[in-house]
Structure 1
Amino acid sequence: MAKTNSLGARLNRGEIVYDFIGNRKLWYGLSILITITAIVALAVRGLNMGIEFQGGAVFTTPKSDISVSQAQEHAEEASGHEAVVQKLGSGALRIQVGGLDTAKSDQVRAELAKDLNIPESKIAAELVGPSWGEQIANKAWTGLAVFMILVVIYLAIAFEWRMAVAALIALIHDLTITVGIYTLVGFEVTVGTVIGLLTILGYSLYDTVVVFDSLKEGTKSITKQSRYTYSDLANRSINSTLIRSINTTVVALLPVAGLLFIGGGFLGAGMLNDISLSLFVGLAAGAYSSIFIATPLVADLKEREPAIKALRKRVVAKRAAAAAKGESPDDGAEDADHFQDEAEAAVVGQRGRRGQASEPRG
């Protein structure tokens, strides 16, 4: 822990600087590759939609010694469709079979009773129509659209439109990767999955906003100097918040990993799988996008501004002149510290002058 704190302090002071912005093409290429893989997987394999979205029947048996694999085999033979079987805490079995109507449901129930050696009257059957799941999906899409619109408006007001655009792209990036992982793994998409997807949006934005806030504070009056570029300070902002982002992400991932690998894997709790996988992938993707996607995108967009372009020319010329004279050119990180100290001193001075002006004269 002490080493981590020391590393975080050194990153914050600019003693250690990793060039995230300079390697942005690598991160962009990696993200594009992952996104294309997710889209292709979604187009080829499609999502494994749960019974809530495709309709079907749910059979609940009393406590039984029949294994999950045996019950699944019997259910698929009786129905002719894929079946999802879960062992409940009481020892009972929950069998989901999609694409069944009332008549077919009664037939499958009778065959299950025979195969599992359970009285038919003790097997509860429930039909689920696809309209309910469709309503949930439509409401989720509506909520997602409203959320993204509000996020863009808020970030555009609190920061600037370039940061809002970068954050929106990062959000879409995170959702695409999460859906792609679901497709590749083959987990069933249920209402719990939808809840998990909507939940990760806030986590995805958290680290992004932290970096943006640091960047906004550090770039005040940036065009009044010629020591470093916007990208230099963007890189400094990422490094200064890196340990904080890693710590918060790891702390958030640990309980979710417990749900996914212990609750879902060893205990066989299907609903835990539905929620925890989307949360786990979404949290990891959100931490990645805030560092490697959102902030580099902001730097790219800002570097297109005429004033920022002129600033970059001045900085490059100054460093070239220093190199020609045999002097050590500014490395950007030390300049960021120096300029930030000047900015903080100016803010303190302004507050002091305001305080003196507000004092009553004797």
Structure 2
Amino acid sequence: MSRLGDLGARLYRGEVGYDFVAKRKIWYGISILITITAIVGLAVRGLHMGIEFSGGAVFTTPKTSVSADDAREKAEGAAEGHTAIAQKLGGGGLRIQISDLDTEAAQPVQEALAKDLGVEASKINTQLVGPSWGEEIARKAWQGLAIFMLLVVIYLAIAFEWRMALAALIALVHDLTITVGVYALVGFEVTPGTVIGLLTILGYSLYDTVVVFDGLRESSKGLTKQTRYTYSEIANRSLNATLVRSINTTVVALLPVAGLLFIGGGFLGAGMLNDISLALFVGLAAGAYSSIFIATPLVADLKERDPQMKALAKRVRAKRAAAAARAESAGAGEDAQEDADDSGADDADGIDDDEPVDAEEAAAAGVVGPRGTTGSRAARNQPNRNRGRGRPSGKRR
């Protein structure tokens, strides 16, 4: 068995573990700090909405030697101040996106781009998206997200309990806020692919959370009938039992997404992959964090407020205090017995074992052995060599 597998087995058996639940205030503080940073970034920079949501035009050019930065500047000049985004395609062409560009202004911009880029105007593919269609897409995206979260809460409340459903919902909002904040800070474009990525990461985030909740539900059956563990301790044991599995599934899921983001979008220049890959990468990492550090500690916090769990925690503390008192009393009794034994031995010999014995004094006192052995005692322990002398040998004369 590998070291990681051995560690997972020991975590599952409860032989080792980290107390995540007890240190929940630290994790709450870290999450609040990250969330505030994401909200500030969202408020200051805002989201860069794609033309699917804001409306505009997309121009796809054939192969050209003009760089993406030069094409963006030329497109913004031709569009008279409208914001443009230019991306280099794999075949050497360009994808130029200009927001808030209506149908009447698209034709002059297409002709100006053809002249500046040195290509024929007829070979530039133009796609127009109206603002009303973009608003409809945005509205449906928000509706889909709200319906998804509502169904998740209902399912968790039925399958587990309302405390777990509430904790899972808070963890989902936490993941969404961080992902959207990173989008605002990075400046990536928000497209329908971004919405798909957000919906996907919600499922991944819930996967780890539901696994931990299922183990917690099984472990907490009949919990109030014992006085060995509190609910928080059972929750922490369940979290440690699934920790290695959560880490493995998260790493395996992050590796291909990292390939899309850093290799496909960054190294190969396939910028269209950035919108979905960034949402997946950030969301998967945030989901793994929230499943371990947010969802389970929140459930423990909410559950410990239940009167039955308060009474259980009180009984557990009382039992442990009584066990500690018994252990202390037993230890004190053993020490007293050892002192009594040492004192009795000193009194019987008339010599303190802890004091050094002078050789002449020992001889005068008849000490011939260790620990103050007296002469009379030594005499009893020595063989009697004069035994039988002066007695008849038993032979007949």
Task: Give the TM-score of the pair, scaled to structure 2.
Answer: 0.80
Pair 1:11-2:23 in alignment: no
Q: Does 2:91 correspond to 1:90?
A: yes
> C-alpha distance in 2, partners of 1:217/1:120?
67
State the partner residue of 1:295: 296
RMSD: 1.5
1:304-323 matches, cutoff 5 A? 304-323=305-324
Gaps of 5+ in 1: 328-362
Question: Is 2:165 aligned against 1:164?
Answer: yes
CA distance, structure 1, for counterparts of residue 154 and residue 112 of structure 2: 57
Query: In 1, are the aligned partners of 2:175 and 2:290 still within 8 Å (CA)?
Result: yes
Matched AA of 2:19: D
Give the Å deviation of 1:149. 1.5
Aligned to 2:269: 268
- Using the TM superposition, give the Cα deviation of residue 104 of structure 1 relative to its aligned residue in structure 2, in angstroms: 2.3
Check if 1:64 corresponds to 2:87: no
User: What secondary structure sits across from 2:119 in the alignment?
Assistant: coil
For 2:39, give the aligned amino acid.
Answer: I
How far 1:123 sits from its partner (Å)? 2.1
- Which residue in the other structure is 2:223 paired with? 222
Give the C-alpha shift of residue 131 in structure 1. Answer: 2.2
Corresponding residue pairs, total: 328
- For the residue of structure 1 that corresponds to 2:242, the secondary structure is helix
Once the two structures are TM-superposed, the CA of residue 124 in structure 1 deviates from its matched residue by 2.5
Give 3-state SS (helix, strand or coil) of 1:53's partner: helix
* Partner in structure 2 of residue 146 of structure 1: 147
Residues 69-123 of structure 1 show CA distances to partners (whole Å, capped at 9, x for unaligned) of: 2211211222222211122232221111112122322222222122112222322
Shift in Å, 1:224? 0.5
- Superposed displacement of residue 186, structure 1: 0.7
For residues 236-272 of structure 1, give each alpha carbon's deviation from its aligned partner in whole angstroms, at most 9, with x where no partner exists: 0010000000000001111111111101111111221
Contact 2:52-2:137 within 8 A present in 1 as well: no
Cα separation, 2, equivalents of 1:152 and 1:69:
46
Q: Distance in 1 between matches of 2:142 and 2:107?
A: 35
Cα deviation, residue 10, structure 1: 1.1
Q: Distance in 2 between matches of 1:271 and 1:124?
A: 17
CA offset digits 1:165-186 (Å, max 9, x no partner) = 1111111111111101101111
Matches of 1:235 and 1:48, distance apart in 2: 41
* Cα displacement (A) at 1:322: 1.7
For 1:187 and 1:216, locate their aligned partners in 2 and report how far apart those are by CA, in whole Å.
41
Partner of 1:28: 28
**Please, what TM-score do these two structures have when normalized by structure 1?**
0.88
- 3-state SS in 2 of match to 1:326: helix
- The CA deviation at 1:58 is 1.2
- Is contact 2:102–2:130 with CA below 8 Å preserved after alignment? no
Percent identical pairs in the alignment equals: 76
In 2: Cα distance, 1:183 partner to 1:306 partner: 44
SS in 1 for 2:78: helix
Q: Secondary structure at the match of 1:325?
A: helix
Question: Is the contact between residue 58 and residue 126 of structure 2 (CA under 8 Å) also seen in structure 1?
Answer: yes
Read off the aligned partner of 1:3 and give its amino acid letter: R
Q: 1:324 matched to which residue of 2?
A: 325
Q: What is the CA–CA distance in structure 2 between the aligned matches of 1:95 and 1:23, rounded to whole Å?
A: 50
Please give the alpha-carbon distance, in whole angstroms, between the structure 2 residues aligned to 1:81 and 1:30.
Answer: 39
Q: How much does 1:323 deviate?
A: 1.9
Corresponding letter in the other structure for 1:72: R
Partners of 1:126 and 1:136 in 2: CA distance: 17
Residue 63 of structure 1 and its aligned partner are, at CA, apart by 1.4
CA distance in 1, matches of 2:237, 2:301: 15
Q: Which runs of 4+ in 1 moved over 4 A?
A: none
**Higher-RCO chain (CA-CA 8 Å, sequence separation at least 6):** 1
